[in-house]
Structure 1
């Protein structure tokens, strides 16, 4: 597929005009940003929404009876309503603002797993999880005497769903799984996992950090119990994330943090908690960031998640085709039809940090390292990989630039016979 095919999916040039940061040079070369899986760039509507708030409407929310505070509160809560609609939540009260997906997962670990799991209970994870969906469960398991098990991957980076019946047992109390791998690009079939987990009474948390920015999501149709995601990976600002949870679970959970706004009443003897969602939002929240995330949701919704996903898959397919022509380069993960816009790879006898350094000289930004997924890299027999990740503003020409840059890498490290 060439540029014409991509143009039919998205008007990429029009989209790129909305992202000021893309129109610059790096080391004298036009910038090629291929690290959106780490953090995406921000369009003008998001920047302007936050700027307008700071210029005209800034005040603390939920506290003042004066006009500015009421306007700020209205904008903040409107952002919550937009996000609820974006993921198909039954109510905005199920949307908890956090700093990022990591904090959202930790909230569940502290306020659900710690109070409700008992010694001998089992947590089921997968071999492809990000550290943010591993380490919180390690901490809980060590404290509570829990057992952690893993759904393995096959040689192409797919989950071994044929092993679910053996892995999900009456002892399984929580299943925590990524929607999409940040290394392999694998888009996981979540419904079979969720159905089998619910059949034994287990709760399911989905790490949506890589999925929600790129795929249409409806939590009621999906059937999970918790969903965590970050704003900065979906054209929104840093410092804002979301935990969605089923209302009955959130109602039963104790607060995560104590302080202002999460209380209904405080005396010298104790406190009564506020209603949802405020029970989990202690202190002054990230007001401007929530407004920016609301603007990002509007922006992505206008373009359409289905079209964004098709665009990214086309880019990934083309990248895999071009990169497979480079001698000594190994791509990890499944075929293009089963992945999102992530292509991670290794090159014989060339460290990923060296690859990224040389590509930077060509104005190309990629990620190099273990991508906060060290156990997965151990499973793959690699210490690190280089990763190109695509979003709605990337083009086929940028994939060509990547392939040309990798040829420069290969020539630079070519050893004499």
Structure 2
């Protein structure tokens, strides 16, 4: 009996091994596995290529921004120098006019003094008596000194005007040279801008093509059975988050963002009439109809950078989506994420709460997107 049971057990084990070998050796399964691995490898390559192109595009964008600031500085310096040059030219004209006028007056005075001296009039001027006939020797000396002072004064004024004219001319020459240097720098800056623009023009199609290829491969793999590919999915999610930090939201793609709640839009982006105050105001985000305690989902993957409360918005969650894009989700009663958390699109960040101050819209969830300081209307990019 014991031998029979042992034989049955051995036969069963052999049967299981044979079955396993048969399954492992199934050509269709092997082909499916090879195709899946090939798609995964293609996706890895696409993510890596897109990341490289994105980093290159970011470098070009940073270069263009720096060049733009440099050109603004050049424009400011050029305008300042042009103003200084105009001022130097104006002063040069004034000094030249004064010098010419003073020279003419000095020539006339010199001629008169010369004629007076040649005819003995200078001595008569110094030694003739005054109207009362009582001119003292001291008075005669003062007359002579006065004549000398007039001559010296004319010479000093001519020298002052000549020095001022020379200084204004030097300033104008220096300004002209500096403007020439700035013009050369502007030419170099323009060439650099053209080169960066050409690089950007060449990068954009390649980046769009790689991005489309990556998304297509990602969708195909996403439809496959994920139970046996947890390690691969984890690796791709990490690569995608790294890519998102560099690339930012694909805001120019239709339906790129997850809708935070199912309700319709109650308050649109832009200028609106406040129902309670009766005045015109501006809304930087979108209000969605919701019920109290409804879950509110992240519109895109990213990292939670702030959890807190803001006056008029109740509790808020701010997510950094990379590329300079931030989203703010508000009107929350409770928050289910913490600062530093890496979250996926559609992850629940909190639940809707009642408003502290009614605004006529009822219970809503609020979402705002910013690129830097600029608010962006999320409406066109939200999935219906």
TM category (shorter chain) comes to under 0.3
| Length-normalised TM-score, structure 2 | 0.21
Q: Report which structure shows greater RCO (CA 8 Å, sep ≥6).
A: 1
Task: Give the number of the structure whose alpha-carbon radius of gyration is greater.
Answer: 2
Provide TM-score, normalisation by structure 1: 0.20
The structure where helix makes up a greater share of residues is 2
